[in-house]
Amino acid sequence: MRSIPFLATLATGAISIALPWQSIDPTSGTQLPLVIWHGLGDDFEREGLSQVAKLAESTNPGTYVHLIRLADDGSGDRSATFFGNVTEQIASVCEQLATDPILSTAPAINALGFSQGGQFLRGYIERCNSPPVHNLVTFGSQHNGISAFESCAIDNWFCKGAEQLLRSGRWSSFAQSRVVPAQYFRDPEELDLYLEHSNFLADINNEREVKNETYKRNLASLNRFAMFMFEEDTVAVPKESALFSEVNATTGEVTPLHERPIYKEDWLGLKQLDEQGKLDFNTAPGQHMQLSEKTLRKAFDRYFAPLVKESRPSAPGLVVQGGL
């Protein structure tokens, strides 16, 4: 889930993750830091992610970019995308961001999630949100889970090991505490098993009988939640999960978010965001994570532009997002 082919063509320059964050004069705007959580099979040392950071900085100069890591080196970080306890991983990221001297002192941060990194960032918002997220943008994320696991390359042993565990015992305590994709597996045909055993997704989607009001309050505090679905996605199954939709595996019928109980009963605050004009449903051309520079730059310009100071004296503070 880590193919971003355009990145090799981007112009070289100073990597933005090495630049100090610049707080711009509020009369012209304040550029919030950007946190990025990569997807399955990727790691923070990949050149592709450094290129994304460069693009974010060139689109909105002064952007400080933090690449989330779950290990001290790329190999360990990549392994953690397949094996680990997602609840523990999110807790470690909560600490990672809260102790960062730049992120923790910013008025807020923006967040960008690629593939599974998107629902993990949403989990961060619901469970911690300190520092608070202003805008959340996700590309090809599995917000409503996956009902199938991608086929692995013959030499990808991390992937093949996770695939075998997912197929043979996805609801076991072992898989639900150690196999990352199992923790956001959601087959509508096995909903009772999912609600009983899911370590991660059933919780952050507030699908169980007892609802967590903190999750709803934190997610509803976003200024903007923008989701992107890849139009030709065959890796994340179903692709419509990227927009919180549900798909009947037998008939292929798609139930959009607006027709689902999670929205109608507003378990997560999504209805509240939508009624305030803060929930965006977008599509991107191509396969899973086949991102073009044009698509990314447009998203960065729209959702991560500098904050500008509200002109009304009764509403002080940095509350308006440029580009929206």
- Round to whole Å and give the CA distance between 267 and 16: 37
Q: Is the dihedral of CA 269, 202, 236, 139 positive or negative?
A: positive
- The answer to whether residues 1 and 236 touch, using CB atoms and an 8 Å cutoff, is yes
Q: Is 115 labeled as catalytic in the residue annotation?
A: yes
Supply the DSSP symbol for 42. Answer: -
- Round to whole Å and give the CA distance between 69 and 72: 7
For residue 214 the two structure tokens come to 């903190």
- Round to whole Å and give the CA distance between 118 and 189: 24
Q: Which residue of the set 38, 66, 143, 288 is catalytic?
A: 288
Q: For the chain, how many residues are written?
A: 324
- Collapsing DSSP to helix, strand or coil, 225 comes out as strand
- The answer to whether residues 152 and 159 touch, using CB atoms and an 8 Å cutoff, is yes
Q: Is 134 labeled as catalytic in the residue annotation?
A: no
Query: What is the residue type of 58?
Result: S
Q: How far is CA 174 from the centre of its chain?
A: 25
Q: Is 66 labeled as catalytic in the residue annotation?
A: no
315 CB-near residues (< 8 Å, 6+ apart): none
CA terminus-to-terminus distance, the chain:
29
205 CB-near residues (< 8 Å, 6+ apart): 143, 144, 262, 267, 268
For residue 215 the two structure tokens come to 């999750």
Supply the DSSP symbol for 152. Answer: P
Q: Which residue of the set 233, 241, 266, 280 is catalytic?
A: 233
Residue found by looking up tokens 């360990």 in the block: 76
Q: Which residue of the set 16, 50, 115, 198 is catalytic?
A: 115
For the annotated catalytic residues, the residue numbers are 115, 233, 288
